[in-house]
Structure 1
Amino acid sequence: MRIMICEDAVLLREGLVRLLDDAGHTVVAALPDASGLMAAVAEDAPDLLILDVRLPPTFTDEGIRAALAVRAANPNMAILVLSQYVEERYATELITANSAGLGYLLKDRVADVTEFLESAANVAGGATVLDPEVVAQLLSRRRRDARLERLTERERDVLALMAQGKSNSAIAAALFISEGSVEKHISALFTKLDLETSASDNRRVLAVLTHLGADSGATS
């Protein structure tokens, strides 16, 4: 897999390069800021872009704006965003802006090499992968939504695991239930959330996350 990194912290940037190289991937570029990102993406055509939420010069939203610009120019570009903390507004902006092939992880997750590499591969493959802490905050924020209140506790558990990019079999294993039960819970929660079901797990996850990430003023 061809990967591009945009991260201002030298140690993390170089650590990611070594980690990905050791895993057999090719890092086509490792940039310290987003100033030359669009040109680099156009020239190197990476399969996955990994970038920080906060980049120079202001360390506010440069990374998110760069990610949105890249997706606007390259709708199929897979992007994995890394953040020091859960930045709900930025996560919501990304989630609602485009479709699959998107990840938002806390930087602490990089320490778990196996999990991080799996997440990167899943995002590059078109999946939507969110950090559990991001999922928890989005769920908590929309707790007052009448549709969300229709869900049972088990359906909430299934929804949270779906949002983390888990397959039905992985959800079943995590909750110690059968895959058939997982399928029934998914069908039920989509009905209760007034969301159209789809044969694609990634599209269903995106639909749920779009609902959870919508502005609090959205129509209920």
Structure 2
Amino acid sequence: MKRITAASLIALGALSLTACNDAPHLINHGPDSITVSGSGDISAQPDIFRVVATASEQGDDITAMKSRVDDTVADMLDLADDLDIEEKQVRASDLRVQPQWQYQPERKLIGHQVSRDVTFRANGLDTYTQLLDGLAKQGLRDIRPAGTEVSNADELANQALEKAVADARQRASIIAEAADRELGKAIQIQAQDFQPPQPVMMMARSEKSGNADSYRPGETDITARVQITFELD
């Protein structure tokens, strides 16, 4: 009778474990699939415009400068009321007082600058251009655009997402047909966030001050991208 030694049992166990570990690599239980990317673009024209205007004074009498700056800010707020810009869309900053230095021939304090910012969020190109015209007529020298928005961006983003899914399915269908396979259901979908770029405001040639026809807000593209895995039948 042949004896089975301890060494033989250890070797047999190691062989059995190796076979179990290799088994999953030899048998594929999952369905055949294909993974594709898709993108969708929606063009939109901005209809919300942000503007920042700064009231500032330079000199030695901080109290007097503060009074003049506050008066200028009050005039800006009155302008916003006249244009029916809602109070929640206007933000006036706190007062800033900054020392002004002369560095040549030696460092010396020559006064202070007192300033406040007012940020406006104007709905519509007409209101935006009237706001710029009104601020300029008040004598403000620091008026700057602060970006644009699309009011229905969420709705347009959903449309872009639908286009991205349709684009991915079309790509997958072309590949499946070329490979003589049938495209099955989507088994995994990954959607990427979108962030529309900000367009640059452009001014056309025009003699009419404050006329909306003299501005071109341009268009911005809202883009969505997806990655989808489809079964192949």
Smaller-chain TM-score range?
Answer: under 0.3
TM-score normalised over the length of structure 1: 0.21
Larger relative contact order (C-alpha < 8 A, sep ≥ 6)? 2
**Higher helix fraction (1 or 2):** 1
Q: Which has the larger radius of gyration?
A: 2
